[in-house]
Structure 1
């Protein structure tokens, strides 16, 4: 399975517009952005913690 192309993204966007409506899409996008940002921060923090523990033990 390859990457999504322009046509696929447009189809997904149209379906989302039909399901959620034009007023809810910006709120939905903002919520998804915050979720992705929190996930990235948490994963970066989880990766940094073992390194800090190893440095403290040495």
Structure 2
């Protein structure tokens, strides 16, 4: 028994889903439902770990960004959201062209 449902009830639910969504869309629906459940589980489990386990690369990038002048104007990349100096023409993280309004 899955979630208190017997095999007959599961077959009825599967048959209704097949009628509503069709045979072409049912695998897509199952795949997206599985991804959603996985993301929810990772989100619930990852809240405590994500704050304490920051990759070393991110820590080094933050140090480099904080070593410069704090008064220097910064521009955010529209593609990746990374902070860049206003004088930069391209993002140092993703390489996208920065749109600097002067």
Q: Report the TM range for the smaller structure's normalisation.
A: 0.7 to 0.9
Q: Which residues of structure 2 form unaligned runs of 5+?
A: 53-102
Q: Larger % of strand: which?
A: 2
How many residue pairs match? The answer is 50
Q: What's the TM-score once normalised by structure 1's chain length? A: 0.75
Rg comparison, structure with higher value: 2
Q: Which residues of structure 1 form unaligned runs of 5+?
A: 53-58
Q: What's the TM-score once normalised by structure 2's chain length? A: 0.44
Q: Larger % of helix: which?
A: 1
The answer to which structure, 1 or 2, has the higher relative contact order (CA under 8 A, 6+ apart) is: 1
RMSD, matched Cα: 1.8
